Structure formats: C-alpha cells, structure tokens
Chain A
Amino acid sequence: MTGYCASRLVTGVLGWNGHCLRAPSTVPLILQIRNTFILQRRTPPGLTKKNKRPKLRSRHYVYDLVEDTNLRKQENLNVILTSYVQGFGVKGDRVSVKPKLAYEKLLLPGLAVYATRENVKMYEESVDKEEKTPAFSSASVERTVGILSRQILAVVMNLETEWTLQPWHLRISFRKAGFIVPEYAIELPEEPIKGPNLDLEGKEFKITVTINKSETVPVRCRIHHWSTNPGDRLPYVQDHWQQTAEPLFPDNQKSFQSDQ
C-alpha cells in the first residue's frame, strides 16, 4: 500500500484561508492525513416532526472526537493456506496473521483464502494426509537452512593453552553469532583439529548442523587465535568473511572448491 495525500481532494472544499470555505484555490494546501474517526455532536439538535428535515444551525456542527479507529489494536485475520508457503505453513494450515500482511502476501497472490465455513470444509478438512505431510519439519526450517548455509562462523580459540576442537567450542561460537545450537546437533569433521597452531589460522573447515533432528546443513568455520594478553594478539582482519580462505584439510579440496 502506498500513502495517498488528501491535499488534492480538500482543495476543492477548503479555501486558502481555513476560515473561508469558498471556491477552490490554485495554491495546494498540504494537510495532515486524518484517520478514520467517530464523532459526537456537542449540542444535539431538537426533535423534528415526521417527514421534515432537521434544522441544523452552526452550533450543531461542533463535534467532539469519540474514538479514532485507526488507533485500535489490529485484530489478526484467519486465513487458510492453499499451498506450502515458506515461513507460514503447509497446505490446509490455518494461519492467524496481521491483516495487511495476510492480504498482501497471501490473499492477493492466491496462496490463501479467508476462513469461512465453506473454505474450511474445502481446504482444511478435505486435504489428504499425504498431501499434508510437509516438505520441511517446520515452518522456519527453510529459512534457517538458508541463513546457516551463508554463514562463515568465526571459531575463536586460545593462543597459549592447548586445545582440541569440541562441539561445545562451536556451540559457543554459534551463540556469539546469534544461533542457539545444541551440542548433539553439531557434527565435527572426522579428523580432530588440535591447537594452538598458527598454520590453522584463518583456514576453513566444514561442520554439519542438524535441524529438528532431520534436516542437515554444512556450515563453514574459520579458526582465529586469540590471546588474553593484548600485546600477543594477532592483527585484526577487517571483514574476514569477505576474503577467500584456504581449506584446513587439503585432501577435501575438490569438494570444498565446488561448494565455494
């Protein structure tokens, strides 16, 4: 939806000077766009006889604003999906969404219908179980897969103490990046990665993340060494994820390159 300025309309009704309500002026008056509203008369007009028009004086045109309906909380619209829609659900699902979103994204393109009695029978109840089995285990899986596949995870490890890469290291790296990934969902590469080893600095390896115990995504990770002593820290690389990195396991170079 795009906003529509009401100024052009009102020029015909209102003059240049707000008090003089005469012929339209050539100079456009840019008004604030008013919302839908409910008004009440300050002075109610007297009772009139049958089939007679009420005599309205100027005092009867003084109104008070009772309510601005635009300021009410928007009630959600119930719609039934007619096909799988990413982020909403599967065919036959009843979805409760804000009216503008429902209208623009679902109803107009024909991906959903209003939840009337007839439509409920047609779409929700009559859909076969086979048809209803989703392509993904839940509504947000497709989006999560997309985000994780584009992610280059910075795995920050200690420069002094000895370590072997474990799932909890990656869980913490994911947490820092804004992902909540349990340890059982992380699968490390077959060969263990040990350090600190500056040969591994900035090199890329792959891990597998399992979503909802069903869908799997390969995630690219890069090791960065970090010291508690600021003097020993390695120089900061700006936007390290925009630069290409060498693979950690050169044997897997072919598959690595094809994925990149």
Chain B
Amino acid sequence: MSKIPFNATYIKRFVPDAPFIRGRPGEVLPEAYKKFWREWKIQKPKPVHYIAEPGRWKRNPETGEVSKVQNVPIPLKFPKDSHQQLWGGEGVIQGYQKKGKYNHRVPHFWVPNLKSTIVYSEILNKYMTVVVADNTMKLIHENFGFDHYILKTPACDLQSDLALKLKRKLLTALNNKDLNHESQEKNEMVYEKYKQYLSKYTAEEIEWYGLTMEEALTKYNQEKEDRKTIEPLKLQYRLDLIQELLERGGETEPVPEEKKSWLLRINPFHSKKS
C-alpha cells in the first residue's frame, strides 16, 4: 500500500476513516474516538430539507426499466453562529430559484426560522437560554423532553457544536452519577429514567465523545505527557556508574593518583599554629 503524504488534501474515492490513516495526525487516536467520528461525520444524517425516496430500486412506469434509487442529500451550510445554537439538524441552503420557464435562475438562501427560548435539562437540573429553530422544538416534543432528544439523536443529526457538547455533558453526568437535584431520591429517579442511553456507549467512548479533531489530539497529547514520569538524574547516573564498573570487570588495581604540581599542593588556608 502506498503511503499517503502528510499534507494530502484530496482523496478521489470516498475513504471513511481518512483522518485516521497511517501518516496522519489522527493515526494515534483510540478506537473509542473513531466510533464517535463515524457517528458524526460518516453516518448519513436524516433528511430534514428533502423527502427521501424509499427503497433501493424503482421501475419506470412507461418503459418498465428498473433503475437504482440514490438519494443525493441537499448540501447544507453551517455558519459560525449556528454552532452556538441548536438548529436541530437544519442548515442554510445555498441555491437558486427558477420561478418560470422564461425566468433566469436567481440565487437564493433558505435560512431556518430561529427563536430564543428556554430549555430545561433534567439531568443537569438547569434552565438554559438557547436560540432554537422551530424544528428543534417539534423534535423536543416528539421525544418527550430535551434530554431524551439530545441523547436519542446521533451526532450526525445534532450537527451543532453546542448540541454535541451538551450530549457529552449529559453522558458524563449520567456515567459518573453526578446529578444535582434536591434529594438523593430524585437523583436516583432521574438516573433510572435515562440510564438506558448509557448502554450504547462504554466509559471510554463517553470520555472521547463530542470532541473535535483538535481537541481529541490535544487530549491524547496531554495524556501522553501525564504518563511520562520525571525521575531525578542522579538515579540515571548511579546506573551508569554501576554499568561502567561492571564493564571494567572488577579490576582490583587502584587507579594511580595523578601527580600534582607543587603550586597546587600549597594550601593558603593552612593554619600556622600547628
């Protein structure tokens, strides 16, 4: 297999685990992070802005010809601001409108309808002000709660960084049983309600969930640094000395003293009294 160069930005065919190929910085990351990456970047998101044609094959009603069904998703754009909001899988669509046969196509942007609301997380026991799209509220109601919605939907459907970080927080809080309600009873009740979502992930996977590539690499490097133990140099020098002595083979001849010149033998601090 030919080694792909470090700075290669193109890959003609679709390689799922491209960032983790040998020679790329993501090579070192554990399987737990790769699982999250696949859920986030590779898994096909649920169609939000188009209706997917069902099935794998379709027949032309006139000719009877059978052809394959390929649902090409509408490419979405996610502006920077969207990552501090919860758009629920929606994005900005850049395209054209062509109103009539003799009209020229006109550029158009379809932008979701956004509203600022308050959202309550039962696991974190917090009320949060977020900017949310209409679709997101529908999804929260369909899933019977904000926590259920975040934990049920895969990372590819959540899309925004805020949603992923919230999911990470919820999973870690559940995993560590770090719930802050008024009573222990209430904590246990909340844990029983949401523990079903922990079965999808191991503890290590939750540790790596919701991190971007840069954050994951930083985490890996930090862990690597932490594993290094700093020992005092004298221990190394002792070992070196022992090694040297062993190499000499236990010679009993004393090392001859070097002859010092008479100048060096003079001790100006010698007391005259004695």
Binding site for B on A (CB under 8 A): 1-4, 6, 8-10, 12-14, 18-19, 21, 31, 33-42, 44-45, 47-48, 51-54, 56, 58, 60-63, 66, 69-70, 77, 99, 103, 108, 114, 116
Contacts and interface: CB of A to CB of B under 8 A. Distances in A.
A-B pairs with lowest CB-CB distance, top 4:
A114-B144, A4-B114, A61-B95, A1-B115
9 contacts: A4-B115, A10-B109, A13-B92, A21-B94, A34-B110, A41-B50, A60-B72, A69-B134, A114-B144
Contacts of A9: 79, 81-82, 92, 111
Interface of B: 13-14, 49-51, 67-68, 70, 72, 74-75, 77, 79-82, 90, 92-98, 105, 107-118, 120, 127, 131, 133-135, 137-138, 141, 144-145
A56 B13 CA distance: 16
Contacts of A37: 49, 110
Nearest to A20: B107
A114 B109 CA distance: 36
A40 B96 contact: no
A31 B107 CA distance: 14
B52 to A, nearest CB: 11
B79 A36 contact: no
B107 A99 contact: no
Contact of B113 (A33, A39, A42, A103): A33
Contact of A77 (B13, B90, B141): B141
A39 B93 contact: yes
A34 B79 contact: no
B113 A36 contact: yes
Contacts of B96: 58, 61-63
Contacts of A10: 79, 92, 109, 111
Contacts of A3: 114-116
A19 B110 contact: no
Most chain A Cβ neighbours within 10 Å, of B70, B72, B138: B72
SS class, residues of chain A in contact with chain B: loop
A31 B111 contact: yes
A98 to B, nearest CB: 11
Q: Which secondary structure characterizes the binding site on chain B?
A: mixed
Contacts of B95: 39, 61-63
Contacts of B131: 4
Contact of A34 (B14, B94, B105, B113): B113
A198 B105 CA distance: 80
Contacts of B68: 47
A3 B80 CA distance: 19
A201 B117 CA distance: 54
Contacts of A56: 72, 75
A1 B130 CA distance: 10
A237 B77 CA distance: 66
A163 B196 CA distance: 76
B171 to A, nearest CB: 22
Contacts of B135: 36, 69
A116 B110 CA distance: 35
B134 A70 contact: yes
A19 to B, nearest CB: 6
A1 B107 contact: no
Given A45-B72, A63-B74, A108 B120 contact: yes
Contacts of B145: 114
A14 B109 contact: yes
Given A10-B92, A39-B49, A99-B137, A47 B113 contact: no
Contact of A33 (B80, B114, B127): B114
B169 to A, nearest CB: 20
Which of A19, A34, A36, A39 counts the most chain B CB atoms within 10 A? A36
Nearest to B131: A4
Contacts of B144: 114, 116
Nearest to A31: B111
A42 B127 CA distance: 43
Q: Which of A37, A53, A69 has the most CB of B within 10 A?
A: A37
A51 B120 contact: no
B215 to A, nearest CB: 23
A103 B115 CA distance: 14
Contact of A8 (B81, B117, B118, B141): B81
B118 A108 contact: yes
B90 A36 contact: yes
A21 B111 contact: no
Given A8-B81, A9-B79, A13-B79, A18 B107 contact: yes
A2 B117 CA distance: 7
A18 B105 CA distance: 13
Given A9-B82, A13-B94, 17 more contacts: A6-B111, A9-B79, A9-B81, A9-B111, A34-B113, A39-B95, A39-B110, A44-B72, A47-B68, A51-B13, A56-B72, A56-B75, A58-B96, A62-B96, A62-B97, A62-B105, A70-B113
